[in-house]
Structure 1
C-alpha cells in the first residue's frame, strides 16, 4: 500500500476515508456507539459530537468514520466524504 494510506490503531490500512466507512458498514458496526463521544470541528466550521462509528454532520453532510478497534482514540477518525 502507498504511504498516503490511512493506518488505524490496530495496524489495518485503508486507501481512503470512504474505505474505512465501507468496512465499518460491512461489519454492521456503523451505528455502534463511540466509547466516548468525539468533538469534531467539521470542515463546515461547525463543532459536532460524533457518537457512532460512522457519523454525518447535520450541517453539511460530511461523513466521518473510525474502526471499532480505533474508536477510543479520536485521532483515528477520518472524513469519508460529503453525503457518503
Structure 2
C-alpha cells in the first residue's frame, strides 16, 4: 500500500475493519478495477469494500492503495 496504512493488517477481514473504522467504506477506488471472483463472476469494484453480486464474497482495498489491483484482498462471504 502506498501509505503503509496496512502494515499491521494480517488479512482481508482486518482490512475491512480498518477501512470501516475510518468511515471510508463507501469511497470509490482510484481505478474501477475489474474483479474476477472465485465463483466465476466478473464485476467492477465501485467502492473500496464491495461484495460480489453473485456469491457475496467481500473484496476490500484501502483508498490510498486502490491504484494497484494487487492490494485488493478477500475478506470472506458477506463480511462487509
TM-score under structure 2 normalisation?
A: 0.89
- Contact residue 30 and residue 52 of structure 1 kept, 8 A: yes
Structure 1 position 66, deviation (Å): 0.4
- CA–CA distance in 1 between the matches of 2:55 and 2:44? 14
> How big is the shift at 1:71?
0.7
Greater share of residues in strand? 1
**Superposition RMSD in Å:** 1.0
Deviation of residue 38 (structure 1)? 0.8
Count of aligned residue pairs for this structure pair: 77
Deviations 1:16-65 (Å, cap 9, x if unpaired)?
A: 10000010011110000112101010010111110100010110000000
Would you say 1:45 and 2:33 are equivalent positions? no
Q: Which gives a bigger RCO, structure 1 or 2 (Cα 8 Å, sep 6+)?
A: 2
Higher Rg of the two aligned structures: 1
CA contact (8 A) 1:9 1:76 kept: no
What pairs with 1:21-60 in structure 2 (closer than 5 Å)? 21-60=16-55
Which stretches in structure 2 are left out of the alignment for 5+ residues? Answer: none
**Distance in 1 (alpha carbons) for counterparts of 2:16 and 2:74:** 9
